Amino acid sequence: MLQGKVAGLQVYNRGGDPNRASTIRLRGISTVGANVEPLIVIDGIIGASLQNLDPNDIETMDVLKDGSAAAIYGSRGSSGVILITTKKGSKKDGKVKLSYNGQFGVSNILRSISVMDANEFKAAGGTDLGSNTNWLEKVTQTGTNMVHGIAAEGGGGNTSYRIAANIRQVDGILRTSGFDQLNTRLNFNTKALNDKLTIDFNTSFTQRDQNFAFNEALRYAITYNPTAPVMGENSPFPFNSAQFGGFFESLGLFDAFNPVSIIEQNKNTGRRVEFNYGANLGYNLLDNLTVNLRVAQQNNNSNNRQYYPTTSHFRGNATSPLRKGRADFYNDESRFKLYETYASHLSDFGKSNLTLTAGYSYQENSFFSRSLSIGDFPNNDIDFSNRIESSQDLQNAGFISANSDASPDEKIIAFFGRANYSFDDAIFVNASMRREGSTKLGEDNRWGWFPAVGLGVDLNKYANIGGVDLLKARIGYGVTGSLPLQNGLSKPIREIENGPDGSVSTRLVRAANPDLKWEEKAETNFGIDFGAGRFRGTLDLYNRDIKDFILERRVDVAVFGVDTRFENAGKLNTKGFELALNYDLIKGNETNYTTGVVLSSYKTVLKEYVIPQEIRANLGAPGQNGTNMILVREGQRIGQIWGPVFDGVDDRGNPRFKDVNGDGKFVTDQDKALEPDADFQVLGNGLPTLELGWTNNLTIGGWNINAFFRGAFGHSLVNTFRAFYEPRLSSQTSYNFMNTSLMIPELRNARFSSLYVEKADFFKLDNLTISRRIPLGSVKAISNLNVSLTAQNLFVITKYTGTDPEPALVYYGSVDNGAVENIGNPDVLSPGIDSRNNYFSSRIFTLGVNFNF
């Protein structure tokens, strides 16, 4: 939707998992510890969720990048602001206008990871289990997606409304994955009291039934032995199939699960219900004085459930003599309340005018969650997650795991004032000040002052250069605060120890920091808007300084009693530019061709950090624990991939590494990665240096062709599949081997090095849409009939050998042997790692139709 269209905005959903939200960044990361996603504002309501919005309901979308523009939104807008206005009703001719929009699409895997087939595997010395299975084919499918949307709008007098309902059904390329979503939205606008009072009310309701399935099935489809049978009855040796629901399993092998069994036996589903409403009242107290009151609320409930029957080897404990089967339940409720009130006063001085605004904002967030994990079910006659009282775990209470958590009422309270002055319709000045407080900070430092100023000049009005239609210069400076995601960081946190005799005591697990204060971001932005004839351009240059970011830090255990607490520490600087150019190549009566390029680049340097340097992002098991891939060092760019340099294979099949510093010693063990004489170097950077979007829009008569190309350059990815499974390890002949063009047949030892760091520059045809307005002639029943065909990801040009060359902006940590990936705590300092738990990217063809009736 937004991907690649706005300079400086990064939207990446690696692989396009339909059940995972995209990672969104504006001008790179704005902070290390706090919330790095931009603030979404829908119809004036801050903090809305994009998942609750159907693209069909969007009227306009604006992105506020400039720190001075975003400053008025306060700390939550610190990472940029995306402003969305939904469609309002039109009251033209008093009739009800109905419109329909429908889509049907199919998707297929775009790129896969090349592994050996059964014959190649046997020839390479793999353990032969007698069958020939293409595991990837067994767990994937042709995905489909269907959309039906209907909207009614109308009104009369001062009143207008729009009601829309959308249904979305998506089946992903991973078998059983997908969701069904119903989304409804109402916008109602009216005026009362002699048109002095404007009332805008909107509400939306979304219900999403999700089938998350298990992305692990894709991971194990890559690594599972291609000669292994799907079903246990085809096992080459005696195998108790019944114990595993008929499926074959490699028992005793670390991190190996039959992928087909994972998705066929287990369930991973959830339902999310979101209900929002917002009301805005505006009253013209005097001709030049307006007061506004806004009230909004968002309620979100999620209910997730996993069920692993007694015969599932994957998380179902099928091999356990005592505890077979498992049911996990999770539910959460979150509530957001917003009250805002402000008054604006306009003074008109003839040639110039001044608008003054002052107001108060109160935001409150609260969250409650509950989870339960229980197992040991009698058998699989029914889905025992519907009848957990039959769990044998109830006799062994210690086996049941139950958790609940409730957040405090997180509050942000702000007082703000703003002045906008314009002179001669050509010089614009704005200044704002915000006094903002948060519950999340230390007692004495909860309140901060955040100023912003901006100046814009329409140079063309004075310079009057021939042929130039538009020449504006803008400069802005703004300071905003940022808040951490978690609560209680300034408080001492303790954990309970239960004694066997019923005694209870606690120990400190995190020290308090009552001085914890606001993280501050100061941003200067300089921009030029330029236009001449058919040409339009915008250039933005910016400099961003972030200080005091909030980070969990190792502290002296002898002083604090525990070796960790949260502190303000570190400085980050980002410099970048964004350029957008548009040119109307052909401008005719019947034929129009417009092309536009969006370019952006930035560089983020860690100026100060809690320690001078550290390595992070563990590669993981099997065999590569204690192997950290990312270097964080003061004074250098973030996202540096760090490791030894591969230099061929010795005669025993071990990798040789380069003596990088030429001192005759080979210091390549991981715990020496930061020693002065270490033979390690920067192997690449996880963040792109240049991102490109290129739009082409051609209209010929009733036909429209839109081609949108997208690329990112300069970034590298660690291909972790290769790092584990490409060397021909004699001890790992029960896992399949990768078979990319970079494979070295002699290599028989897996050790992380430059060999697995690949340049991932790419250029792709992101979206190609051909649409046609169908002439309806004498048909009166419908109007504005439009039919379109869209292809997404038609081609990708890249040298990267993994599934998806898009930058990986965060790392979720290494996960293995069926453990659950923690997506709630992404590491933003460790970009550039293509982990083994990714969804695979797909190519999607969609047929769409819309008309009014």
> Does 469 help bind another protein (rule: CB under 8 A)?
no
Nearest approach, Cβ of 133 to another protein (angstroms)?
Answer: 24
Q: d(Cα 840, Cα 802) in Å, to the nearest integer?
A: 10
**In this chain, which stretch among 39-47, 148-156, 489-497, 806-814 interacts with another protein, using CB under 8 A?**
489-497
With vertex at residue 256, the alpha carbon angle to CA 252 and CA 260, rounded to the nearest 5 degrees, is 120
The residue count for binding another protein (CB under 8 A) is: 81
Q: Please give the C-alpha separations between residue 792 and each of 98, 111, 485, 766, in angstroms, as whole numbers.
A: 29, 13, 34, 5
What pairs with residue 735 in β-bridges? 224
CB of 679 to another protein, least distance (A): 13
As a whole number of angstroms, the longest Cα–Cα distance in the chain is: 94
Q: Are 692 and 712 in contact (CB under 8 A)?
A: yes
Q: Shortest distance, CB of residue 670 to another protein, whole angstroms?
A: 3
Peptide bond into 688 cis (omega under 30): no
Question: Among 669, 554, 683, 677, which Cα is nearest to 629's?
Answer: 683
CB of 678 to another protein, least distance (A): 10
Site string for another protein, 626-665 (x = CB under 8 A): xxx-------------------------------------
21 sits near another protein (criterion: CB under 8 A): no
| Least distance in angstroms from the C-beta of 811 to another protein | 17
* Residue 664 exposed, middle or buried by CB count within 10 Å (0-12, 13-18, 19+): exposed
Structure tokens at 146: 């269907």
For another protein, which is the closer residue by CB, 380 or 740?
Answer: 740
Which residue, 210 or 754, is less far from another protein as judged by CB?
754
Cβ atoms of residues 713 and 204 within 8 Å: no
213: left (phi > 0), else alpha (psi -120 to 50), else beta? left
Establish if 287 lies at the interface with another protein (CB under 8 A). Answer: no
Task: Name the minimum Å distance from CB 127 to another protein.
Answer: 13
Q: Is 142 in the site for another protein (CB under 8 A)?
A: no
The mark string for 424-443 relative to another protein (x by CB under 8 A, - otherwise) is -------------xxxx---
Please identify which residue in 70, 413, 483, 791 interacts with another protein, judged by CB under 8 A.
Answer: 413
Near another protein in 582-621, by CB under 8 A: 621
Q: Which is nearer to another protein, 193 or 776 (CB)?
A: 193
Nearest distance, CB of residue 668 and another protein, angstroms:
8
749 is a site residue for another protein (CB under 8 A): yes
Question: Does residue 736 interact with another protein by CB under 8 A?
Answer: no
Structure tokens at 739: 């078979």
Question: Using CB under 8 A, which of 94, 157, 499, 664 touches another protein?
Answer: 499
Instruction: Pick the piece of the chain touching another protein (CB under 8 A) from 285-293, 298-306, 632-640, 820-828.
Output: 285-293
HSE on the CB side for 584, CA within 13 Å?
A: 12
- CA 751/CA 770 separation, integer angstroms: 48
Say which amino acid occupies 660.
V
DSSP 259: H
- Give, in order, the Cα–Cα distances in Å from 851 to each of 239, 248, 437, 668: 59, 52, 49, 65
444 binds another protein (CB under 8 A): no
Question: Is 508 an interacting residue with respect to another protein (CB under 8 A)?
Answer: yes
By the rule CB under 8 A, 288 interacts with another protein: no
Minimum distance from residue 366 beta carbon to another protein (Å): 9
- Smallest gap, in angstroms, from Cβ of residue 441 to another protein? 8
What string of DSSP letters covers 327-380? EEEEEEEEEEEEEEEEEEEEEE-SSEEEEEEEEEEEEEEEEEEEEEEEE--S-S
Among residues 4, 74, 727, 813, the one that binds another protein under rule CB under 8 A: 727
* Whole-number Å distance between alpha carbons of 508 and 555: 14
Q: Which is nearer to another protein, 125 or 236 (CB)?
A: 125
Tokens 């979007």 correspond to what residue?
693
Q: Which of 92, 461, 494, 799 binds another protein (CB under 8 A)?
A: 494
Contact 240, 272 (CB under 8 A): no
Q: How far is the CB of 235 from another protein (least distance, A)?
A: 24
Q: Classify the C-alpha dihedral 219-223-229-235 as positive or negative.
A: negative
Check: CB of residue 184 under 8 Å from CB of residue 204: yes
Closest CB 439 distance from another protein, rounded Å = 4
Instruction: Say what the alpha-carbon torsion angle 737, 739, 742, 743 is, to the nearest 10 degrees.
Output: 50
Give the nearer residue to another protein in terms of CB position, either 657 or 840. 657
Nearer to another protein, 76 or 536 (CB): 76
The residues that bridge with 808 in the sheet, in sequence order, are none
Interface residue with another protein, options 750, 791, 808, 833 (CB under 8 A): 750
Q: Which stretch binds another protein (CB under 8 A): 170-178, 208-216, 749-757, 800-808?
A: 749-757
Q: Which CB, 490 or 798, lies closer to another protein? A: 490
Q: Which of 92, 95, 461, 507 binds another protein (CB under 8 A)?
A: 507
Give one DSSP letter per residue of 284-315, joined into a string.
Answer: EEETTEEEEEEEEEEEEEEEEEEEE-TT-SSS
Mention every residue, 6+ apart, whose C-beta is less than 8 A from residue 720.
Answer: 619, 756, 833, 834, 835, 836
Contact 791, 768 (CB under 8 A): yes
Compare residues 41 and 747 and give the one whose CB is closer to another protein: 747
Instruction: Report whether 338 contacts 359 (CB < 8 A).
Output: no
Task: Give helix then strand counts, H and E, for the chain.
Answer: 8, 44
Asked whether 39 and 64 are in contact (CB, 8 A), the reply is: no
When asked if residue 458 is in the footprint of another protein (CB under 8 A), the reply is no
Q: Is 298 in the site for another protein (CB under 8 A)?
A: no
Within 183-212, the residues that bind another protein by CB under 8 A are 193, 196
If the CB atoms of residues 266 and 739 are measured against another protein, the closer one turns out to be 739
Residue 487 binds to another protein (criterion: CB under 8 A): yes
Tell me the window of 12-20, 399-407, 578-586, 597-605 that interacts with another protein (CB under 8 A).
Answer: 399-407
Closest by CA to 223, choosing from 721, 803, 618, is 721
Is 462 an interacting residue with respect to another protein (CB under 8 A)? no
Query: Smallest distance from the beta carbon of 495 to another protein, in angstroms?
Result: 7
Contact between 504 and another protein by CB under 8 A: the answer reads yes
Does 787 sit near another protein (CB under 8 A)? no
Least Å distance between CB 481 and another protein?
Answer: 13
Distance of CA 221 to the CA centre of its chain: 25
Applying CB under 8 A, does 561 fall inside the site for another protein? yes
Nearer to another protein, 529 or 679 (CB): 679
Instruction: Based on the shown chain and the rule CB under 8 A, indicate whether residue 356 belongs to the binding site for another protein.
Output: no
Handedness of CA 546, 628, 820, 142 (dihedral sign): positive
Sites for another protein among residues 224-283 (CB under 8 A): 254, 283
**How buried is 737 (Cβ within 10 angstroms: 0-12 exposed, 13-18 middle, 19+ buried)?**
buried
CB under 8 Å to 279, separation ≥6 — which residues? 199, 200, 201, 294, 295, 296
| Stretch binding another protein (CB under 8 A), from 201-209, 345-353, 453-461, 721-729 | 721-729
Question: Which of 251, 382, 402, 557 is in the footprint of another protein by CB under 8 A?
Answer: 557
Report the residue number, 194 or 395, with the smaller CB distance to another protein. 194
Nearer to another protein, 276 or 668 (CB): 668
Nearest distance from residue 806's CB to another protein, in Å?
28
Tell me whether residue 50 or residue 674 sits nearer to another protein (CB atom).
Answer: 674
Chain residues 656-715 in contact with another protein, contact rule CB under 8 A: 668-675
